Amino acid sequence: MTQIELPAEQPLNERDGLYLRRAIELANVAKTRGNRPFGSVIVGADGKVLAEAWNRNGESGDCTAHAETEAIRLASPKYSRDELAGATIYASGEPCVMCAGAIFWANIHRVVFGIDAVRLRGFRGERLDQRDAELSCRDVFAASPTHIECVGPALLDEATAPHEGAWKT
């Protein structure tokens, strides 16, 4: 059996820790509302929160209602591409392929995430309705013509907690 290497946890500065913890709080909101436990916050270069959202799959029936896409849908009509280029998106979990694409299209150049996709797969199990495309957001961002900084995984214990008991077995 091949051993899967888990990504190392990355340290965060105080500001990144503050907003990633807020994204994790929103993941808990999602969970209590019957959704998969993911949250996201977009913060401008000046520290202003531009948007907050949680995963709404369960309550909306929309398979694209991931936390990151929901936050981008709130922010992109209100803020210019230049403003979003200076923003950071905080995600309680590593952005999936779809969300990484949305981050690229929104022109956001910095991502900070909690639990990584490799660890998340341990919660998702082998159920087809819970599996993901096994491609790191870093791979998606590497294909971008602009640099997108990616920090994570981070605050692993905190970011893992919302997933305990949240997935079907």
Catalytic residue, from 5, 25, 68, 83: name it: 68
Q: Which residues contact 116 (CB under 8 A, 6 or more apart)?
A: 6, 7, 93, 94, 152, 153
Phi-psi region of 86 (alpha: psi -120 to 50; beta: other; left: phi over 0): alpha
Instruction: Identify whether the C-beta of residue 59 lies closer than 8 Å to the C-beta of residue 88.
Output: no
Instruction: Identify whether the C-beta of residue 97 lies closer than 8 Å to the C-beta of residue 163.
Output: no
9 is catalytic: no
Strands (E), the chain: 39-43, 49-54, 88-93, 110-115, 149-151
Instruction: Identify whether the C-beta of residue 114 lies closer than 8 Å to the C-beta of residue 44.
Output: no
The dihedral through the CA atoms of 136, 138, 139, 144 has a sign that is positive
- Catalytic residue positions? 68
